[in-house]
Structure 1
Amino acid sequence: MAAEPTPGPTLTPDPAVLATVELALLGIEPDTVAVDVPPVLGRRLKPGAELTLTDAEGAPVASLTVESAATRKRRTTVTGPVRRAHADADGGEPRGPYPQLRVPPRRLRLSDAAAVVVRDPIDLPTLAAATAKPSQPVLLVVLDGPRTVPGPDTADVTSGALTVRDKLRREGRQTEVVVVPAPQYGDARDDELADRIAAAYGGTRVVPAEPPDRVALHCWLDGTAAEPAGWPTASLHAWRRWRPLPHERGLVLFFTGLSGSGKSTVARAVAERVAEIGTRTVTLLDGDVVRRNLSAGLGFSKEDRDRNIERIGFVAAEIAKHGGVAVCAPIAPFAATRATVRRMAEAHGDFLLVYVAAPLEECERRDRKGLYAKARAGEIAEFTGISSPYEPPEDADLVLDTSAMTVTAARDAVITLLDEGGRL
């Protein structure tokens, strides 16, 4: 009996790189792509080797034939042409919302179309620019991919685009909607890529001379201003779904502080009080409990501690995405990791940072487990505050010194912060 073939190496690339790979497969970008790989894998990838690129769920997306490899410091970059990992030309069922709209350029070309290329809901000035010529076809392109600036989900933006399409069709205008994978860089590359995408479908991208006032939009989203001008109703609906009013918006309430500072006690009291008020669904993600259930097996090296906080942040952001309140109470000693959690949370909700700033000597005095004494004796390595640093936050929304206030007073200070922000 013949032996099964040995599978080649696989890699799940960065989401922006994966979106670029998908653009190459669509023929919008060059088919030669550069992908960063771990050095240990890079040493195996000689010219001619095949590297399978997968999505976040492990499904094959493309195969890259290595032409060259370059190593710099701790990173190896392999470069080569990509082809679909599927046998059929269209690559099987497209991934993402609205798969029927993920049409490659070879199957849809609108000659001399006015192309609106957006990642956010379509605004009226852009729509007016696209419909300036009475007989010109309109192509609405919704970009789907990792964002540098938070905004509505692709599904909501696409839904709004379809509403606009149907309105234009009723007016006799030839209009199509496509969804295209694309990274967002937050610089001039975004405009260059949008121009290339528009051209690939046979159109020319339209850009309004004066886009709508985004400040007015965000004031409306925060409930401090009237409905802004410059947006179709369907687009405003998409914006509102992304950012409900504060009392309906998801929230990550993140407590940080030294071991023994009282952050877990205060966080629990706050979660219980929010539950008593009854206007919000609340989940407590305490550091010790998460360590046992979500992060079992992780140690206390900086890398493992960062991974633990990022796991907490991911779960908390998912809770916020669906309108809940996630109360987190890890030590979270490093500013960069806290910033990562903030970015995850603010993609779909709010983030408030509470610094429980009890002095180190007070934390040691409270230490019932004797951890500080063991750390000072060298029995515990990399213990925060003793042999590993704690970086006090400079961006805290509230600072609580629990050596000078009761748990009830600390709890009430947090509840006041939530109430004054309209979040209860």
Structure 2
Amino acid sequence: MAAEPTSGPALTPDPITLAVLELALLGIAAPGSAAPPPAVAVELDPLPGRKPAPGTEITVTDAEGAPVAVLTVESAATRKRRLTVKGTVRRAAAATDDDEPRGAYSGLRRAPGRAKATGAAVVVTRDPVDLRTLEAATAKAGQPVLLIVLDGPRAVPGPDAADVVSATLTLRDRLRRDGRRADLIVVPAPQYGDDRDDELAERIAVAYGGTRVVAAQPPSPQALHDWLDGTAAEPADWPPASRHAWRRWRPLPQERGLVLLFTGLSGSGKSTIARAVTDRIAEIGTRTVTLLDGDVVRRHLSAGLGFSKEDRDRNVERIGFVAAEIAKHGGVAVCAPIAPFAATRARVRALAEAHGDFLLIHVATPLAECERRDRKGLYARARAGEIAEFTGISSPYEEPGDADLVLDTTGMSITAARDAVITLLDQGGRL
């Protein structure tokens, strides 16, 4: 006899898991799923309390805390600090009763049962549609065309789903003017960055009743990159609406958002250089610029955090999140935390490069020189054991191997260091 459902905790899963559950609610299984929805198997962060027993109902919420689904546990196992849960999923009652639109272009978010396109040529895409794909979709006279735009976390940076939908709507309307039966829907889906993306696209096309179209010769990623960086002519492989969506995501370098991250030991001079660079960019006047200095951020954005590895990581990630938002809207964010750990710097890079550029400046002033300066007396206190986990003394500093510029302020003036950074920006066409 099946266990009676018991009330369980609520949780907000990572974006990929949330997208997998939303797909299951549409009746579409994610790659690797052993059973069709509503059966699911997902990994979750550890829940508070003990491992959930069979029959426990876990309320799944989105990033804003709104209920999305209810996951009924059939079995659960903990491995490597992650919880693997097998069970069934249903839409949360609050989500069913909520008439408020969810996500951009909410009217285009239709389940397979409401948007069947039997026999259609189906284009499943996360990026603006190119002409070769459009030609392949319309190769058979009279065949309907279904354009499916995927909306969800991206493993490969690219345009926002809203911009892709806007561009694809233009193509849909063009097909309709030409007498084609054409429709467009938006489907929540994760991106894995590997072969699972093709498998998932095939499953989605089948779920909506059509045959997936794959262009024989997709546009060259290098040609796209060169064009977006302004080093090559505008390609002919995209319709104007698609080119506009690409350009909105990645403007020319002088218009593109930028995160400039200074990293180095305490006393290396990174904060002083960062302030000088910020002032100089403001003087030039071609870009809006914001300084996120480590000490200032700790007093405001990260008040309450300590100096354990976890808290230092969290401090840098908060800086990275704010900086990436600034870059997303075309600004320059200058950041000057110590940022001692390579993995944390890599996460900040990924956040920034989702919508803009990222440059890493390693202020590589040697430890001995930093200690000699020791304006705040921190090194002396760390040597005396009064400060635990102090970077460079009792906690490691992982020197970056991917810095775009390395500066040693031992024998360099702040003006010279500032000008070296400004030259780097100028040579990249960013000012």
Q: Alignment partner of 2:262: what SS?
A: strand
Task: State the partner residue of 2:280.
Answer: 273
| Pick aligned residue for 2:63 from 29, 53, 56 | 56
Q: 1:148 to 1:178 in 2, by over 3 A?
A: same
| Pick aligned residue for 1:303 from 298, 305, 310 | 310
Matched AA of 1:83: R
Write out aligned runs for 1:123-162 (5 A). Answer: 123-162=130-169
The CA distance in 2 between the partners of 1:321 and 1:50, in whole Å, is: 38
TM (norm. structure 1) is: 0.96
C-alpha distance after superposition, 1:54-74 (max 9, x if no partner): 011111100011110112242
Write out aligned runs for 1:173-184 (5 A). Answer: 173-184=180-191
Shift of 1:111: 1.5
Compare 68-77 and 47-56 and name the one that shifted more: 68-77
Q: Alignment partner of 1:402: what SS?
A: coil
Q: Alignment partner of 2:296: what SS?
A: helix
The yes-or-no answer on 1:106 pairing with 2:113 is yes
Write out aligned runs for 1:50-129 (5 A). Answer: 50-86=57-93, 92-129=99-136
Compare 85-94 and 126-135 and name the one that shifted more: 85-94
Task: State the partner residue of 1:23.
Answer: 23
Q: Alignment partner of 1:305: what SS?
A: helix
- Identity among equivalent positions (%) equals 77
Q: Alignment partner of 1:20: what SS?
A: helix
Task: State the partner residue of 1:214.
Answer: 221
C-alpha distance after superposition, 1:351-381 (max 9, x if no partner): 0000001110110111111100110111100
Task: State the partner residue of 2:34.
Answer: none
The CA distance in 1 between the partners of 2:347 and 2:11, in whole Å, is: 23
The CA distance in 2 between the partners of 1:277 and 1:354, in whole Å, is: 20
Shift of 1:14: 1.1
Q: Alignment partner of 1:383: what SS?
A: coil
Q: What is the RMSD computed on CA atoms of the aligned residues?
A: 1.4
C-alpha distance after superposition, 1:280-337 (max 9, x if no partner): 0000000000000000010100000000000000000000000000000000000000
Task: State the partner residue of 1:258.
Answer: 265
Shift of 1:86: 2.3
The CA distance in 2 between the partners of 1:412 and 1:301, in whole Å, is: 35
Task: State the partner residue of 2:14.
Answer: 14
C-alpha distance after superposition, 1:33-59 (max 9, x if no partner): 223344453625111111000011111
The CA distance in 1 between the partners of 2:94 and 2:389, in whole Å, is: 51
Q: 1:38 to 1:110 in 2, by over 3 A?
A: closer
Write out aligned runs for 1:326-405 (5 A). Answer: 326-405=333-412
C-alpha distance after superposition, 1:90-143 (max 9, x if no partner): 864452110010011111111200000000000111101100011000000000
The CA distance in 1 between the partners of 2:313 and 2:96, in whole Å, is: 42
The CA distance in 2 between the partners of 1:43 and 1:290, in whole Å, is: 36
Q: Alignment partner of 2:48: what SS?
A: helix
Q: Contact 2:51–2:76 at 8 Å: present in 1 too?
A: no
Task: State the partner residue of 1:194.
Answer: 201
Q: Contact 1:356–1:401 at 8 Å: present in 2 too?
A: yes
Task: State the partner residue of 1:231.
Answer: 238
The CA distance in 2 between the partners of 1:340 and 1:87, in whole Å, is: 34
Matched AA of 2:254: H
Shift of 1:89: 5.2
Q: Contact 2:265–2:338 at 8 Å: present in 1 too?
A: yes
The CA distance in 2 between the partners of 1:47 and 1:403, in whole Å, is: 63
Q: Contact 1:42–1:78 at 8 Å: present in 2 too?
A: no
Q: Contact 1:84–1:91 at 8 Å: present in 2 too?
A: no
- How many residue pairs match? The answer is 419
The CA distance in 1 between the partners of 2:112 and 2:74, in whole Å, is: 27
Compare 199-208 and 268-277 and name the one that shifted more: 199-208
Q: Can you give the 5+ residue segments of structure 1 that lack an aligned partner in the other structure? A: 1-5
The CA distance in 2 between the partners of 1:405 and 1:236, in whole Å, is: 45
Task: State the partner residue of 1:170.
Answer: 177
Task: State the partner residue of 1:288.
Answer: 295
Task: State the partner residue of 1:319.
Answer: 326
The CA distance in 2 between the partners of 1:289 and 1:88, in whole Å, is: 41
Matched AA of 1:11: L
Q: Can you give the 5+ residue segments of structure 2 that lack an aligned partner in the other structure? A: 1-5, 30-36
